[in-house]
Each structure stands twice: as structure tokens, then as C-alpha cells.
Amino acid sequence: MSSQQDVSQHYTHGNLVAAISSGIESTGKTINSITVDDLAPVDEFHIGGRQASEDFLSQLDLTSEKQVLDVGCGLGGAARFVVSRFGCQVTGIDLTPEFIETGKILCQWVGLDNRISLHQGSALAMPFADCVFDRAYMLHVAMNIDDKAILCSEVSRVLRPSSLFGIYDVMRTGDGELTYPVPWATTAVSSAVATPAQYREALEQAGFTVVAERNRRDFALAFFDQLRARTAAAGGPPPLGLHILMGRNTPDKVRNMIANISTDRIAPVEMIARKS
């Protein structure tokens, strides 16, 4: 099995639309009344959820005339947030077919399928022309991509000059072996966590200049504390949540993620870079 096949298989659920639809019904809503905000707990698959998206994406100077690329878009949660908040036109690409198929359905449910275009494919060879996007971003994506240099080069290719590229990824911030499974990988085989310095090098080689960087370790730990408190108070996870995507071993993945961050082995880090 190739690395990309391994990554795609890791994220494949098998019956995701039905699982999300069931969760929606459990909240008392229907697919005809669900909103972008209602879907956020299940379709923003990164540390900090909607709050992290707001904090991160607000730095990209997004306006309604911008053509925006979502690299590793997953179910399209961040794309739907960007369209609903900033009015952009968003194009997303993701390796996992089920994520793209489900994302298209969710866009239809909330009436945004005319503003969002989702494509299945690799971020290392995107089916887009040169210099067609004004902004690009990725949230918790390159932990599954070994070759950061090719990734950054490909993003640079499709961006217009002076465009911004935002990265919010889990990065290696200290020594020590990671404990698995984690949300992005069952074992180290499909994990490609890198240091901020390695990201900066890949970005600079691709013609970017890093203009902002922020370690979000404290934010992450506070987020997980709040998540545990809410789960305990409710006697279990909510009807709509990331446990739908992560599967039966969700508690193990979350526990290991918290342990890895608490021991300073990894942390979610934001980077904003501008194409020369």
C-alpha cells in the first residue's frame, strides 16, 4: 500500500453521510434546517475547531473578491466557514474520496455548493492552472505529507504573486517519540510531523517569505480541557463531533494528542507566508 493510499484509508469512514445525518437528527434539526455553524463540531477537523479557524483565517485578509484554495479541505468545513464569513469563492482539494463526496453533500445542505468547488486529488500535483488563486490555506494537513518542499512549491505555483499562504499544522517542537494513535495517523508510518524550521525552509525554497508565526500550545491545552469538561458534564460526546470522523478509538487518539502536546513533543503552529 502506498503512503497516499495509507493516508486516505486512515480517514475513510465508510458511511459518513449517514453518520452525520443521524447526528443532525439527534440534535433536533434536519438536513433542511442545518447551518454552517451547526456543522462546525463535526467538519472542522483540527485542534480548536471553529475558534481556531477564526483566529487563523482572520489573518489572511480574506475579502469577497478573493479566489481561495483550501489545501487538504477534508469535509470542507473551513471552506464553508470562509464563504459564509467572508463571501469568497473557495476551491478545495483532498486526498480522501469519501471526504470530498461527503463535503459536496454538506455544501448542498447549507446552500453553498455554488460558492465551493471540491476536488479529489493530491496536494502534490493539483489539477489547477498556474497563478489562479489569491489566497491559500491548510489546517492540519502536512502531518501526512513527507515532502514539504514539493507541497509548498505546488501551492506557490497556483498562487498569484504577493498572495498569502496560511498554515495551521501540528509541528514537532521537542524531542521524544510520539505516542500513537493520534487523529492524523494510527502509527508513525503515515505520520510526517516536521519542525517549524523545516516548514520555513520549504516555504522559502518555494519563493515565500514567512511574515507571521505563532505557537498555539497553550490554546490547544485549554481547548482540550474544555472539551473534557463538556464531555464529562454531558455524560459522553455530543451527537455531532469529531468522534464521528475518528471512530471507536477516538478517546485514545485524543488522550495521546494531549500527552504529546503536554510533554512539548508537538504543538499546533500557525504560519503566514507571502509569495514573492
The Cα–Cα gap between 214 and 191 comes to: 22
| CA-CA-CA-CA dihedral for 170, 189, 100, 12, to nearest 10 | -120
| Omega prior to 268 cis, within 30 of 0 | no
Residue from 75, 76, 57 nearest 66 by CA: 57
Query: CB atoms < 10 A from the CB of 264, how many?
Result: 12
Q: What is the pLDDT of residue 237?
A: 87
Q: What is the pLDDT of residue 7?
A: 84
The Cα–Cα gap between 217 and 223 comes to: 10
- pLDDT tens per residue across span 165-203: 999 999 999 999 999 999 999 999 889 999 999 999 999
Separation of CA 236 from chain center? 24
The Cα–Cα gap between 242 and 45 comes to: 7
Separation of CA 114 from chain center? 22
Q: What is the pLDDT of residue 183?
A: 95
The Cα–Cα gap between 67 and 71 comes to: 13
Write out residues in the chain with pLDDT < 50, as ranges: 1-2
Domains of the chain: 3-275 (3.40.50.150)
CB proximity list for 38: less than 8 A, separation 6 or greater: 24, 27, 29, 240
Give start and end residues of each alpha helix (H) in 172-272. 196-205, 217-234, 243-246, 250-262
Q: What is the pLDDT of residue 1?
A: 37
CA of 221: how far to CAs of 45, 66, 132, 213, in Å? 16, 33, 37, 18
Beta strands in the chain (DSSP E): 67-71, 89-94, 116-120, 133-139, 159-172, 208-215, 266-275
Q: What is the pLDDT of residue 178?
A: 97
